[in-house]
Amino acid sequence: MDQQRHTQKQLDHNDKHSSQKTLTHLALESHGAKVCTYSSFYSFKEEAIYSIDTCRTGGFTERGELEVTSIKDSSREKNFEVVYSPALTDDPSTHKASCSCTMFERTGILCRHIIWIFSANGMKTIPDDYVVNRWAKEYLQLRMFNCNGEGTDNMKIIDEKQIAMSIIWSEVHQTVGLL
């Protein structure tokens, strides 16, 4: 258990104080390096590389406000259908996409087909809906407790005194749990 805690602390330290090296020109990959943990970024980076190397447009149709694109994936020798909903505003966080390969739904990491569509539409950042908490650098693995001893999963605490008190209470709860 001590070895696992030590390894987890090392990984958390790496995630907070460094970022991964990117291999492509994609702005989405650069953004992924900033927001994803080391382990999840390896998978994301692989998908970003494959999106450039193996994905091509196979056709395009519109269904109302939705854009449906058939993506030819030469590495899998299949066609995948990506349903894309462009934002009605300039805010890229409102863009939505889903792919018939269902990789994002299964793993929480964007597939090469959605990365290709987002890149083709000029997106420079990954929408917030596609940065899953378990793969995000900013999400703490340990449950936080506030000053009242209540558990909280909301990490958007602004006051630094509250953060310090929450960390202290979390350590108290963990110590009591070990006893």
The per-residue pLDDT for 146 is 53
Is this structure's pTM higher than 0.75?
A: no
- The predicted structure's pLDDT at residue 50: 92
pLDDT for the residue 116: 93
User: CA-CA distance, 113 to 12, in Å (whole number)?
Assistant: 30
Residues in the chain predicted with pLDDT less than 50, given as ranges, are: 140-141, 154-157
Q: Return the pLDDT at 9.
A: 75
Q: Which amino acid is at 43?
A: S
Tokens of 126: 């990954």
Summarize pLDDT for 112-123 with one digit per residue, the tens. Answer: 999 999 998 888
Give pLDDT, residue 76.
Answer: 86
pLDDT at 157: 45
Structure tokens at 77: 């020798």
Residue with tokens 């958007």: 156
Residues written for the chain = 179
The residue written with tokens 């000053």 in the block is 147
